[in-house]
Amino acid sequence: MSQPIHMNAGPLGRIDIVPTGGKLSVTPASALMVRAVGSSVAMLAGSGIDWGTGSGCIAIAAARIPAVESIVGIDVLPADVAAATANARRNRVSAVASFIQADVFAPGDESGAAVLEELKEATGFLTANPPASPDGDGLGWRRKVLAGARRFLVEGGPALVQISYQYGMARIEGLVDDVPGYRYCGIAATTGWVPFDLGRSDLARQLVQYAAEETRGGQPYVFRHPEQELEMTAAAALEHHRATGSSPLSKWQAHLYVYEPG
């Protein structure tokens, strides 16, 4: 078994997470979301859902909040559900955090179905660090998760969603037009400028995808030049990387949306 990774949940203390086994199961985006939960203590209460829970790190941080009565982590991979369950035990939050297998929000078995049925229109908050979508502008999974969560959230329920800086504020705020029923409420947590590490094959693929989206006429992405105080589009960042080998800069961020139907 791998050694636990120590993650900083701010006022909620340190959590110890054994990764799920996947190479990218705990990333800088995971660390940012754990910190975001720590800085959102006052707004997270009642029953929560952590969508795409992976190692369970976000759910486990949320389970430390005294006003959180329960949190259910959902993942499509049974191995992640098992790893998250073991991590909850390791951090002594099993009484509050539990995990089920589901594809998007479609439960894999009857007990998962019963859990999700109870959460309909009764979920106080959502947390999510969804995967990047391999097509379109990259935010397709975020739209799917926010759309699906409307069946669960109570009116006024916050959704804390990981979306990095390079997507640009127009696209990030525009999610409320793509998925009606939410109000955009700003940045919940952010890192400073960090390399969008093109040594990571997933991020290298994403940059190519973003440049293709710009060519199709999509909104420009917003990176920071690695050496100068300049903004760069994805196409410019890709060209610079091909010429110099350096990665552009971005920020890992968590954004807050509040469910306000009608």
Ligand X SMILES: C[S@@+](CC[C@H](N)C(=O)[O-])C[C@H]1O[C@@H](n2cnc3c(N)ncnc32)[C@H](O)[C@@H]1O
Interface positions with ligand X (CB under 6 A): 26, 30, 33, 52-55, 57-58, 74-77, 80, 102-104, 129-131
Neighbouring CB atoms inside 10 A of 165's CB total 22
Taking the least distance from each CB to ligand X, the nearer of 16 and 231 is 16
- Smallest gap, in angstroms, from Cβ of residue 44 to ligand X? 15
* Cα 76 from chain centre: 15
- Smallest gap, in angstroms, from Cβ of residue 118 to ligand X? 18
Taking the least distance from each CB to ligand X, the nearer of 30 and 98 is 30
- Smallest gap, in angstroms, from Cβ of residue 139 to ligand X? 13
- Smallest gap, in angstroms, from Cβ of residue 30 to ligand X? 3
With contact defined as beta carbons under 8 Å apart, do 247 and 196 qualify?
Answer: yes
Report the C-alpha dihedral over residues 82, 87, 93, 99, rounded to 10 degrees: -20
Residue 243, phi then psi, degrees to nearest 5: -80, -35
CA terminus-to-terminus distance, the chain: 49
Taking the least distance from each CB to ligand X, the nearer of 130 and 226 is 130
Structural tokens at position 216: 């199709």
Single-letter amino acid code for the residue at 171? R
Neighbouring CB atoms inside 10 A of 240's CB total 18
Residue 114, phi then psi, degrees to nearest 5: -65, -40
Taking the least distance from each CB to ligand X, the nearer of 57 and 238 is 57
Taking the least distance from each CB to ligand X, the nearer of 52 and 226 is 52
- Smallest gap, in angstroms, from Cβ of residue 20 to ligand X? 7
Q: Helix, strand, or coil here: 38?
A: helix
CA atoms within 13 A on the CB side of 132: 20
- Smallest gap, in angstroms, from Cβ of residue 128 to ligand X? 7
Taking the least distance from each CB to ligand X, the nearer of 15 and 234 is 15
